[in-house]
């Protein structure tokens, strides 16, 4: 199940270290004008993690999004030998509200790197998870943001014929850099459902009320 994690763990370029943090549960509430994030903290928990040097993980090379709401961001490890995704609220110390006072810690599938600003937590991108997202992108539509064309093309060659064909036939648009993100190539995969139901429309209105008699 964790083939990439095992490969990284067994690579001579990786190491191990014991790390400690506070277990926490993050919850979100939406008010009338803004959203609130709240953290409940529990007990300290420690575990042994696989580690890599900070310079072993490159800048984000590309991102994949499916219209199902699933997404993956790809950061190359060791020049693209493997890919990692940055954790947000799914790191090893993030847990359910009922578990924040339990000292056990799950360390499988997590990779830690250290930089001047502290420890960064990553997850390996495993084949099963990746294939599931890419199939949803093909059959439900989606898009890809490409920041590093060379790495993306190398990665694409390892994917199925179905995924390669979908990307090859997709529409492409260059998006200019802004104050908060670099320039990227947008690869837009059309949602096949639009052929039957048309565009979703504002607030999904066109699909909610589009009931068709077919027999």
Phi first, then psi: give them for residue 92, nearest 5 degrees.
Answer: -65, -25
213 within domain boundaries? no
Pairing state of beta strands 71-77 and 62-66?
antiparallel
212 within domain boundaries? no
Give me the domain span that covers residue 92: 3-194
211 within domain boundaries? no
Picking from 164, 154, 5, the residue whose alpha carbon sits closest to that of residue 92 is 5
147 within domain boundaries? yes
> pLDDT confidence of 152, banded at 50, 70, 90?
very high
Torsion of CA 168, 169, 173, 174, to 10 degrees: 10
- Residue 139 and residue 59: Cα distance in Å, rounded? 29
Position 118 scores a pLDDT of 81
Q: What is the mean pLDDT of residues 102-106?
A: 91
> pLDDT confidence of 143, banded at 50, 70, 90?
very high
Query: Which residues 6+ apart lie within 8 Å of 19 measured at CB?
Result: 46, 47, 49, 112, 119
Tell me if 136 sits within 8 A of 143, measured CB to CB. no
Position 116 scores a pLDDT of 62
pLDDT at residue 81 tops 90: yes
Of 19-33, 154-168, 200-214, which gets the smallest average pLDDT?
A: 200-214
199 within domain boundaries? no
Position 115 scores a pLDDT of 66
> pLDDT confidence of 195, banded at 50, 70, 90?
confident
200 within domain boundaries? no
Neighbours of 25 (CB within 10 A): 18
- Residue 144 and residue 165: Cα distance in Å, rounded? 14
205 within domain boundaries? no
Mean pLDDT (the chain, rounded): 92
Of 48-57, 156-165, 188-197, 199-208, which gets the smallest average pLDDT?
A: 199-208
pTM of the predicted model as reported, rounded to 2 decimal places? 0.88
9 within domain boundaries? yes
- Surface-to-core class of residue 146, CB atoms within 10 Å of its CB (0-12 exposed, 13-18 middle, 19+ buried): buried
pLDDT at residue 99 tops 80: yes
Q: How many domains does the chain have?
A: 1
């Amino acid at each position: 199940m964790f083939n990439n994690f095992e490969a990284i763990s067994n690579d001579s370029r990786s190491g191990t270290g014991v790390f400690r943090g506070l277990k926490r549960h993050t919850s979100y509430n939406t008010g009338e004008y803004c959203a609130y994030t709240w953290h409940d903290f529990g007990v300290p928990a420690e575990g042994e993690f696989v580690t890599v040097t900070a310079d072993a993980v490159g800048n984000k090379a590309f991102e994949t999004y499916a219209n199902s709401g699933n997404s993956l961001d790809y950061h190359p490890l060791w020049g693209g030998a493997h890919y990692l995704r940055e954790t947000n609220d799914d790191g090893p110390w993030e847990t359910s509200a009922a578990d924040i006072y339990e000292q056990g810690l799950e360390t499988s599938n997590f990779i830690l790197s250290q930089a001047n600003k502290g420890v960064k937590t990553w997850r390996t991108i495993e084949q099963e998870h990746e294939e599931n997202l890419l199939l949803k992108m093909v059959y439900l539509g989606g898009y890809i943001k490409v920041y590093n064309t060379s790495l993306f093309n190398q990665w694409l060659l390892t994917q199925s014929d179905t995924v390669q064909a979908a990307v090859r036939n997709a529409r492409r648009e260059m998006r200019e850099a802004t104050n908060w993100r670099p320039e990227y190539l947008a690869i837009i995969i059309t949602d096949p459902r639009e052929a039957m139901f048309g565009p979703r429309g504002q607030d999904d209105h066109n699909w909610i009320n589009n009931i068709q008699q077919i027999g």
